[in-house]
């Protein structure tokens, strides 16, 4: 799947989990009443979480929506008896005042690609050229290049193939580069970026395929284009949440990101909703366990918040019995690609991954059976992307994570219709069953 960084990594065997699986029968007997009766509230909780998340509108790291979401979850966790603290850090941001490409009388919207190199109000101008494959732009010097990416579910500016394609254009002196994020949504797709600074010296933006189409013919006429990405940017404060219930028993970590490039309902909704429902019940259901619940900001800047929490705030691998990460889009809606239209379906998008430490795979094959995509869990040594990759690289021996790039991943219209309680509930039930087996 595009945007999921593949890593070679060997994770130590899960001897503790193997022992837990051997004791699954007693655990199931102990918690059956909780699992079948108390969870009648799940649909209510999922709906509450989705409604509240939709009210924040824009989850860009450090912005008003992200901060409000963090404050809301902080209150929820405190109400459930967690001791909650904030881990503050600085995150990049850019608030555009103008973001367009102009060619003669044509003006099309673009989205400034972070880390933004602003053009100022006048913009950057040059001959309009179109790139579809290496060699298409023999002389990029001074040109405004519209780079048509292959059809995919794009999500990462640092994807190796994309970096290799951009490099000769950047090195050749292009004035600006505009990426056409060709994919199933036909929308512009913002790309996750390195927080340390601009990836390339040129101003860069993304544009949706539907908005880019008129530019191709104009490029054939030798037209001059002007890219304007003007606005305010820099860094601003954001925070992670570290919520703990400290008890003598084994510790389980539950984590989810909360920030992203816009409304993020299909991307963040499933993770936030499952996190919310688990926070409502797990501490009471497992009173002999210690719990750490983590909510990270800064995700769109190459997992910035996750880096901070792993470096400074997370429990150590040796004291963590199990880490469950609720990543992106694992219960987003599936869509028929009906010509140029997308028509909603009642099922979840099966292009979703379940990745775990190898010792846990047999259990997950049982507990996620029947959930398309997730019913085929992958062992961690095959690699993982997003924040799960960071967790595994940090050496946690027993980790599980779900992640996906759904059709509207990172799109500006990733609204509430991109997921729903009926899509999330089966995954929540599978998660509960997994914890029942392993905890």
The token pair at 386 is 């997003």
Q: Is the pLDDT of residue 14 over 80?
A: no
The predicted structure's pLDDT at residue 146: 98
The token pair at 116 is 């933004």
Q: Is the pLDDT of residue 71 over 60?
A: yes
Radius of gyration of the chain (CA): 22
CATH class for the domain made up of 93-233: alpha beta
Topology at the third CATH level for domain 15-91+236-438? Aminopeptidase (3.40.630)
| pLDDT tens, residue by residue, 117-161 | 999 999 999 999 999 999 899 999 999 999 999 999 999 999 999
List, as one string, the DSSP characters of 179-239: EE--STT-S-B--B--TTS-SSSS-EEEE-HHHHHHHHHHHHTT-EEEEEEEEEEEEEEEE
The predicted structure's pLDDT at residue 356: 96
Q: Is the pLDDT of residue 273 over 90?
A: yes
The predicted structure's pLDDT at residue 382: 86
The predicted structure's pLDDT at residue 23: 43
Q: Return d(Cα 183, Cα 243) in angstroms, integer.
A: 38
Q: Return d(Cα 334, Cα 394) in angstroms, integer.
A: 33
115 cis-preceded (ω within 30 degrees of 0): yes
Q: Return d(Cα 388, Cα 71) in angstroms, integer.
A: 24
| pLDDT tens, residue by residue, 393-416 | 999 999 999 999 999 999 999 999
Q: Is the pLDDT of residue 187 over 60?
A: yes
How much is the mean pLDDT over the chain? 91
The predicted structure's pLDDT at residue 39: 64
Over residues 354-360, mean pLDDT: 96
Q: What is the DSSP letter of 358?
A: G
Say if CB 161 and CB 127 are below 8 A apart: no
| pLDDT tens, residue by residue, 239-264 | 999 999 999 999 999 999 999 999 99
Q: Is the dihedral angle over the CA atoms 261, 263, 266, 271 positive or is it negative?
A: positive
Q: What percent of the chain has pLDDT over 90?
A: 87
| pLDDT tens, residue by residue, 197-235 | 999 999 999 999 999 999 999 999 999 999 999 999 999
Q: How many helices (H) and strands (E) does the chain have?
A: 11, 16
CB neighbour list of residue 66: distance below 8 Å, 6 or more residues apart: 56, 58, 59, 60, 238, 258, 259, 297
Q: What is the 3-state secondary structure (H, E, C) of 94-152?
A: EEEEEEEEEECCEEEECEECCCCCCCCCCCEEEEEEEECCCCCCCCCCCCEEEEECCCC
Q: Return d(Cα 92, Cα 90) in angstroms, integer.
A: 7
Neighbours of 350 (CB within 10 A): 13
User: Quick one: 47 exposed, middle or buried, by C-beta within 10 A (0-12, 13-18, 19+)?
Assistant: middle
Tokens 């400034």 belong to 112
Q: What percent of the chain has pLDDT over 70?
A: 91
Domain ranges of the chain: 15-91+236-438, 93-233
Q: Return d(Cα 29, Cα 275) in angstroms, integer.
A: 24
Q: Is the pLDDT of residue 363 over 80?
A: yes
State the alpha helices, DSSP H only, in 313-360.
Answer: none
Strand-pairing partners, residue 416, are none
The predicted structure's pLDDT at residue 27: 44
């Amino acid at each position: 799947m595009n945007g999921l960084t593949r890593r070679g990594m060997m994770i130590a065997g899960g001897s503790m989990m193997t022992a837990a699986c051997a004791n699954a029968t007693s655990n199931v007997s102990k918690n059956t009443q909780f699992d079948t009766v108390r969870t009648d509230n799940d649909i209510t909780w999922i709906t509450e979480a989705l409604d509240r998340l939709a009210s924040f509108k824009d989850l860009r790291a450090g912005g008003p929506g992200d901060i409000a979401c963090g404050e809301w979850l902080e209150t929820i966790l405190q109400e459930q008896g967690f001791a909650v603290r904030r881990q503050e850090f600085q995150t990049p941001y850019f608030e555009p005042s103008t973001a367009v490409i102009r060619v003669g009388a044509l003006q099309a919207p673009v989205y400034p690609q972070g880390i933004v190199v602003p053009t100022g109000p006048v913009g950057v101008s040059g001959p309009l050229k179109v790139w579809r494959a290496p060699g298409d732009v023999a002389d990029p010097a001074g040109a405004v290049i519209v780079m048509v990416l292959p059809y995919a579910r794009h999500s990462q500016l640092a994807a190796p193939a994309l970096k290799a394609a951009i490099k000769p254009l950047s090195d050749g002196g292009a004035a600006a580069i505009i990426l056409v994020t060709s994919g199933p949504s036909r929308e512009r797709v913002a790309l996750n970026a390195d927080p340390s600074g601009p990836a390339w010296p040129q101003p860069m933006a993304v544009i949706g395929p539907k908005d880019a189409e008129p530019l191709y013919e104009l490029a054939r006429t030798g037209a001059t284009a002007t890219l304007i990405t003007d606005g305010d940017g820099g860094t601003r404060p954001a925070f992670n949440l570290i919520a703990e219930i400290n008890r003598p028993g084994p510790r389980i970590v539950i984590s989810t990101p909360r920030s992203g490039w816009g409304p993020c309902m299909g991307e963040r909704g499933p993770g936030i909703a499952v996190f919310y429902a688990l926070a409502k019940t797990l501490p009471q259901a497992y009173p002999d366990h210690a719990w750490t619940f983590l909510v990270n900001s800064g995700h769109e800047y190459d997992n910035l918040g996750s880096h901070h929490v792993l470096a400074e705030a997370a429990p150590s691998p040796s004291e963590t019995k199990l880490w469950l990460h609720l990543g992106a889009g694992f219960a987003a809606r599936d869509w028929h690609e009906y010509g140029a239209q997308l028509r909603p379906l009642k099922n979840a998008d099966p292009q979703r991954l379940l990745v775990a430490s190898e010792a846990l795979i047999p259990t997950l094959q049982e507990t996620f059976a029947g959930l398309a995509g997730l019913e085929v869990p992958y062992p961690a040594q095959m690699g993982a992307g997003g924040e799960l990759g960071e967790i595994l690289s940090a050496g946690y021996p027993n980790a599980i994570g779900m992640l996906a790039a759904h059709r509207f991943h990172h799109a500006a219209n990733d609204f509430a219709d991109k997921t729903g309680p009926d899509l999330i509930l089966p995954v929540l039930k599978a998660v509960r069953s997994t914890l029942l087996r392993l905890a």
